[in-house]
Structure 1
Amino acid sequence: MRSKFQHFALTTIALAASAAASAQTTAPAAPTSTVTIYGVADSFVQFADGASRLTRLQSGGLAGSRIGFRGNEDLGGGLRALFNIESGINLDDGTNGQGAFWGRQAFVGLSSAGVGQLTLGRQYGSLYALTGDFSEFSNGVYGPSTAVIGGFGGYEPVRGSANSATANGGPARVNNSARLESASFGGVKVGALWGFGEAAGSTTGTRVADAWVRYTGGPLDAMLSFVDDKVNATGFSVRSISGAAAYSFGPARLTGGYVSVDDRSTANADGQGYWIGGDYRVGPHLVKAQFVENKAENVNAGKTQALGAGYQYDLSRRTTLYTSLTHFKNEGTTYANRWASALPAGLTNADERDVTEFALGVRHTF
């Protein structure tokens, strides 16, 4: 016969097994909300030869260094809440990348399956995607990148400008903005962004209006953009009309785009820029090249041309080595000399305007 202890032990085990089975059948479904921590650590050594020589460590070659948090919650019926906050980091000295702690992105919103999403906060305008996704060297701070385009009366459509409505990053990133983008319908997405000006004494001063359409299907990816950036409360604006495309065939891809800036102030500091490039991938190896031209009209007439080639090697899915060689040619007697980032004092002068740049770096994503 079983002892009372054996009987108690068997009864306890049976109850525990029953409870476990009941928990499995009544437990809730997988979590309906998620939060992801992610980031990029990217740094490179930059050698430049112009009127003088420069060697320095820089941050964010292939991609801007950052740490971010994004999440979403399933609200049922295809509706989800979402957020994204992202802080830029300068790996060379540990400072913030955009002059604000959450300067890369900071927004919250709702998305609906098959309809689209609405977000509110500091977020990307159309020019960020257009000059980044369709450029072999993105819109970063090295190589023949689209960051060369701009400087028209001080206005920077790609880098961001103190003359922009947002001052800190716009119109590529827009503060105080509401952004609406549709779901994909036959490969087509349309979107619009409104940056509330919030200038003192004017509810519409320094506002940004932005609209775009993008088609992605098969080998073709193409985008058109219109931005009206009301630079200050006095009323004038700067308008940008831009387009870009990429076409893939096998391991190769061709890319190119055009940005036209119409300065509607009395200074009439118009300008435009374009780029064309291509890349070819074989396993972990990627070879790429690009040509960029930036031309100012009417005020400080002149142009900058940049031609460069790069090579990337993927050590793993997360870690990439990269290098590039670029020549920047600056023309025009009164035109401000340019390259992909702000020019250090003395790197160019009236007699030597051109710059040759070599970069060698590493990027890790997590």
Structure 2
Amino acid sequence: MSRPTRRFIAMQACALATLFCGCFTDPRELPNAPLETSSGQAALSSPDLVVYGCPPGAVGVVGATFMGIPAYCQPSGGGYYQCDELGNRFMRDVYQHPNLDNVVTELADAMCPNAAAMPEYSVWGPGYRDTTGQAPLPGDLVVFSGELNGLAIAHVAVVTGMDADNVYYMQQNMNDPTGSTGWDAKKSWFSKSKVLCWIHPEPVASPPPSNLPDCGCFNGEGDYCGLGIVDHEAWYGCRANVTSPLSYDNVYSCSNGVFSLKSTCSNCVAQRYTSALGYCADGNPCGHVFRYSNGTYCGASTDNGFSGADANTLYTCTDGLVTATSACSRGCTPQKGGSDKCD
């Protein structure tokens, strides 16, 4: 599936949110708390929500769009397309508001206190504004809390709509790009999931950033998705030296601190923060295979996001790239789990 091409100029990067919480050791490797998922019908009630769904194990595919903003597929766990990457990007692209956390160094539960200190947002819930008679609106963010193996974790989602008993949302870093949770109108609060707050964007203009330092080749010389460049500018309050307008889906090569267009692409994918920040998945059968599903795949396999290759060839997928191929003279029968072999 090709994703919509959206163009954003590097000069439009928003100011970096103030950091309130300490850093965690590799926090992006923590899986998110399990949440309720919708049946798929009620969540489709919003005319601004389009749901495609997420193939099992796929990364970087558009699973849904709301108000024109895509949510990318990624299984729960470490990787680039975190839940707060979507929350920050939604607020930047729809409202031109500043980021609510640094996705690399903070978890989503930092969003509530961070937002409470910004005039661009109002925060509702225990310890924040009184929710009596109030309810989330489409375009708000809901911040969930949770715990896994004694570690505090959090999740954030974009509200897409409500009915009398439910709040519906779009999300990343879960197997389902949409979900729902119960709502108690009498209590003006969520009835099933543990929620820290909801965040409402106020109609306050964000001042444009100025005198920002140069980002440089922030992850070393190599290839980057446009989305990764724009996100880094916003998270770290810097400006990238890009020689052409940025498209989230194009691939840019960075050398000597300068980003130049390497290739136009309809589906640029990033697998993680620390390496492989961009490759084009167009025509790449391994392009949507998440790095947790590295392995060998018969060309006819549709497992873990693999697709579109020669049926009699065995492909080795490593972090979304084809790293080896083997011709199968007797054919190749797909198995499950990324451990295929020639017949």
Pick the TM interval, shorter chain: under 0.3
User: Relative to total residues, which structure has the larger helix share, 1 or 2?
Assistant: 2
Provide the TM-score with structure 1 as the length reference. Answer: 0.25
User: Relative to total residues, which structure has the larger strand share, 1 or 2?
Assistant: 1
Could you say which structure has the greater relative contact order, defined with CA pairs below 8 angstroms and 6 or more residues apart? 2
Question: Larger radius of gyration, structure 1 or 2?
Answer: 1
Provide the TM-score with structure 2 as the length reference. Answer: 0.26
